[in-house]
Structure 1
Amino acid sequence: MLVAWQDSLFEAHRLKVFIFRLDLIDPHLGGNKYFKLLYNLEEAKQAGKKTLLTFGGAYSNHLRATAAAGQVFDFQTVGVVRGRELAEKPLNSVLDFCVQAGMKLHFVERQAYRQKKQEDWIANLKKEVAEQWGQSFSDFFLLPEGGSNAAALKGCAQIPNLIKEKLQADFQITAPDFILTPVGTAGTAAGLFVGKEPQTKIIGVSALKGGAFLYQDARQLLEAFEKKYATFQFEEASFERDFSLWLDYHFGGYAQKKPALMQFIAKMETQMGLSLEPTYSGKLFFAFYDQIVGGQNPFPRHSTIVLLHTGGLWEKK
């Protein structure tokens, strides 16, 4: 699951670079979604909920993973999809998978979708879902967009320790100096911050254009985690020192592809046999390599760096 990334560029800067292959956990439930769903599913079971309701766009990794989890762990699932116009079009490969796995898709207008955190809108949504598919869908366990909440952080907080164990066992390295992850809703990055070693810094690469708001989202998630579990104390000084985001590698916005990105992904496939998708992990790996080859290398010599491959490797149409 942990592999070394050998490159003469890294050797020149005396960097030890590794890839943590979360994509290998499971073809449908793998990647960071496994960790984000782990304790959410546990809480849903404990609460006696039979239905999971969550949100996402047309190519949402989270919707796909939730649908797969519902099929495996015997939950009904409802996916609230951004874009009512999509209801009149053929389903893409992600949404088709969701339907085949048993998920009910509820398409909403894009403007209405922005209200997904408002209690009155959720109450109306609950009524709409119950009217469309029956009363059994009205008593649902609510998962936020991307699955990012305090329970998701609890799951993702396990990842740094898994990395540490593999580094020690396979490479005799005590802990990484940096862990890099793609960022969409900041849940994974915030969870890594919770579970990291004191000497480790977390760097997130935003898949979104204009992602500066993700700093505040991460803070709010960490504060919610502190309030819910009382096993973590949020400190602003530590957050500012050890948590950072790279905001300039979105390639035009979420799910946008540019030739430079696709050429880099193809190069990784050819040279390393490593498959990357362009929405999240592809941008992360490109950003990391570009930071070093571009001359601005932010990593001190002799740093140990781990990049998360967060999965998402399925065909998109």
Structure 2
Amino acid sequence: MGTTEPDTGGLAVVLPSPLVELRDLRLDEHEVRVYLKRDDLIHPEVSGNKWRKLKYNLAAAKEQGHSRLLTFGGAYSNHVRAMAAAGYYFGFETVGVIRGEEHLPLNESLVYAVDRGMTLTYLDRTTYRRKTEPDVLAALVDDFGPCCVVPEGGSNGPGVRGCAELPGEIEIDFDVVCCATGSGGTVAGIAAGLTGNQRALGFAVLKGGQFLDAEVRRLQGEGFGVETANWALVHDFHFGGYAKHKPELGSFIADFDTRHGITLDWVYEAKMMYGLFDRVASGAFARGSTVVAVLS
């Protein structure tokens, strides 16, 4: 795929995204400083790592003459939402291939995607697990016509190259960048963009997400031709699995909103921030550490 720097399709994109210190006594007790990288403020519809992952994919699709984008995701996928918005603003038709059976009425995420012009189709979970295989892709192209296929989560070579730009925007000295991990692309890109002894830490939001370790390595190879050793994934804070949660996560979200005036997304951000505070409390970060947490 090409690496043409894309235009913004008329989007008022805020880059670099704001970096703000999180003042919290629970952090002060352990002498750990945490900054929030507010990628969620890049754009209200194509925000965070979604813009970073999509921008080079959109440029490549345009360069190759495509008029239709096809992608994959769960029923609550932020990526599907962002792809629908990007198609709307950049003039692409969009198709969202959703994992599982159709459930009516549609949830808020899928209603939004349809409102932005996306055509939805569904694959049973067994077939969805084979979504990258040639026969499944060929059947989708037969149904919807020629298209540029963007993988689940926007995680491919162009996607991770976009995410690799994030560390270069951080103008403070830091030790660790934390992010939520669904498909592996964000942590793969961030790790590739780090320097010196800096490390990336991804908090998996999927139950049984150990396969993501191999996926991060694969994505780094696809995006950069090399793998780095400066990252790790944490698998202890999925709260039951993707788009699932438990009462303690809801309590954490409400408390965080009260303390800091930020409502965390419960599918991704809240799990990452819960895990970050848990690790700070357990002493996993050395005193004097500076951590950047990416909100997307």
Query: Structures share a fold, TM > 0.5?
Result: yes
Which letter does structure 1 place at the counterpart of 2:106?
Answer: L
Q: 1:48-67 residue pairs with structure 2 within 5 A?
A: 48-67=65-84
Separation in 2, partners of 1:17, 1:80: 37
- State the secondary structure of the residue aligned to 2:262: coil
- Counterpart selection for 1:157 from 150, 154, 164: 164
- Counterpart selection for 1:206 from 204, 211, 228: 204
Q: TM-score, normalised by structure 2?
A: 0.92
Q: Which residue of 2 aligns with 1:265?
A: 253
Q: Which residue of 1 aligns with 2:141?
A: 126
For each residue in 1:60-90, what CA deviation from the matched residue of structure 2 results, as whole angstroms up to 9, or x when unmatched? 100000000000000000001112343xx21
Q: TM-score, normalised by structure 1?
A: 0.86
Q: Which residue of 2 aligns with 1:171?
A: none
- Counterpart selection for 1:36 from 42, 53, 60: 53
- Counterpart selection for 2:187 from 167, 186, 189: 189
- Counterpart selection for 2:35 from 18, 25, 30: 18
Separation in 2, partners of 1:268, 1:96: 28
Separation in 1, partners of 2:177, 2:280: 16
Displacement after TM superposition at 1:13 (Å): 2.0
For each residue in 1:3-48, what CA deviation from the matched residue of structure 2 results, as whole angstroms up to 9, or x when unmatched? 1111223223222211111111111011110100010001001001
Separation in 2, partners of 1:74, 1:279: 29
Larger relative helix fraction: 1
For each residue in 1:122-150, what CA deviation from the matched residue of structure 2 results, as whole angstroms up to 9, or x when unmatched? 11111122xxxxxxxx1100000111000
Q: Within the alignment, does 1:144 sit opposite 2:142 as a pair?
A: no
Separation in 1, partners of 2:105, 2:28: 48
After the TM superposition, which parts of structure 1 deviate over 3 Å for at least 4 consecutive aligned residues? none
Separation in 2, partners of 1:260, 1:21: 24
Q: Which residue of 1 aligns with 2:5?
A: none
- Counterpart selection for 2:100 from 83, 87, 90: 83
Separation in 1, partners of 2:260, 2:69: 38
Q: Which residue of 2 aligns with 1:133?
A: none
What is the root-mean-square deviation in Å for CA atoms of aligned residues?
1.1
Q: Within the alignment, does 1:299 sit opposite 2:281 as a pair?
A: no
Q: Within the alignment, does 1:94 sit opposite 2:109 as a pair?
A: yes
Q: Which residue of 2 aligns with 1:4?
A: 21
Q: Which residue of 1 aligns with 2:232?
A: 244
5+ residue gaps, structure 1, are: 130-137, 168-174, 228-232, 311-317
Q: Which residue of 2 aligns with 1:278?
A: 266
- State the secondary structure of the residue aligned to 1:84: coil
Separation in 2, partners of 1:265, 1:96: 24
Displacement after TM superposition at 1:292 (Å): 2.1
For each residue in 1:176-233, what CA deviation from the matched residue of structure 2 results, as whole angstroms up to 9, or x when unmatched? 1000000000000000011112221100000000111110000110111134xxxxx3
Separation in 1, partners of 2:140, 2:98: 12
For each residue in 1:91-149, what CA deviation from the matched residue of structure 2 results, as whole angstroms up to 9, or x when unmatched? 111111111101011112221111111012111111122xxxxxxxx110000011100
Percent identity between the two aligned chains: 41
